[in-house]
Amino acid sequence: MYHLAIVSAIDPFLPMAYHFCDPLFRVTTVFGFINCNKPAGMTSRDVVNIVQRRLKPDKIKVGHCGTLDPLAEGVLLLGIGSAVRLTPYVQDQPKRYIGKFRLGASSDTGDLENGFVSHGDLPQPNRQQLHDACTGLTGLIKQIPPAYSAIWVDGQRAYDRVRRGEQVDMPSRTVSIHELSLVDYDFPMMTLDTLCGSGTYIRTLGIDVARAAQSMAVMTHLVRTEIGSFHVDKSVTIDQLRDAPLEPLLMPAALAVTHLPRIDVDDHDTYRLQNGLCLHEELGISVTDDAQVAAFTPSGQLCAILRRKPRGWCPYRGFPIDEVPRPRSDD
């Protein structure tokens, strides 16, 4: 006997299907995300391993959508099953962080991992200087990531090379800072609220704010409060990941593609997409030729990501749905 659980924690019109079988409710098909509130002291891989061990008998894939450093906490999204293939789309969505920094201090890592050094001779910035620094660092900016980072440099992780005593020249990168504001300031502590694009290093951003105000800084605390439509106030705890039934914790996979153009397909086109066939008609929406489009079934399930090819709009990524419609005679 099979049970069908439909869970939609955000929007009842974004259903997602999970199949379980009695008596142990072992997952046989699963497609969605778990929004975990990662505590400080754990690696992102530690969190993945907790869920992976629980799903290992069913050989279900688990992956995280964006690493959080061990010292950081907050939203860590876990893609479950075919949702792992939606990781790049989650990464494309803006992320919000609340970071706390100590001014007049520095460290080799930019945070408290190896302690810090105080610089009492530096001037004490005023609030207006810090506001102006935040304004100047909003938009597309050049950022030099910290050497103590997981970035690959000449085929090796930067932090591995630094810990061996090597000198590592980190290449600058362009990052997008959508919002950057000073939300609290009581010298030497300042708190920044940042909404940014992928690849941004918040500790570096805080150091750059301090530098623009003629000071230095180390990051003392970091919380990721949201990724796109996934918010920390809708997250689950590590204890829930370890002990609670997993199926009620799943959130709709469709939340990963809210930033993509959307089309709703009928049963006929759903059948075609589920079998790797293209849609020959125009989609009826205005998109560029290189756009990716999210296709949803009549019941509101994400069934495919489409790309334009010479023979039509074709499935670039396909996803499981509750029930594939029967083909028509002309299919």
Catalytic residues, by residue number, are 69
SS3 52: helix
CA-wise closest residue to 51 among 242, 245, 247, 250: 242
- Supply 142's token pair: 């050049």
The answer to whether 294 touches 261, Cβ cutoff 8 Å, is: yes
CA-wise closest residue to 148 among 130, 139, 161: 161
Helix, strand, coil percentages for the chain (3-state, nearest 5): 25, 35, 40
> Which amino acid is present at 66?
G
What are the distances in angstroms from CA 58 to CA 4, 47, 61, 172, 277? 17, 18, 9, 43, 29
- Supply 117's token pair: 């050094």
Q: How far apart are CA 282 and CA 279, in angstroms?
A: 8
Residues 6+ positions from 3 with CB-CB distance below 8 Å: 19, 20, 21, 22, 25
- Supply 166's token pair: 């090597």
Half-sphere exposure of 71 (CA within 13 A, CB side): 17
CA dihedral 94, 218, 233, 92 (to 10 degrees): 20
- Phi, psi (5° rounding) for residue 247? -60, -40
In the block, residue with structure tokens 């706390």 = 100
SS3 155: coil
The interaxial angle of helices 202-212 and 127-136, nearest 10 deg, is 120
Centre a 10 Å sphere on the Cβ of residue 189 and count the other Cβ atoms it contains.
Answer: 14
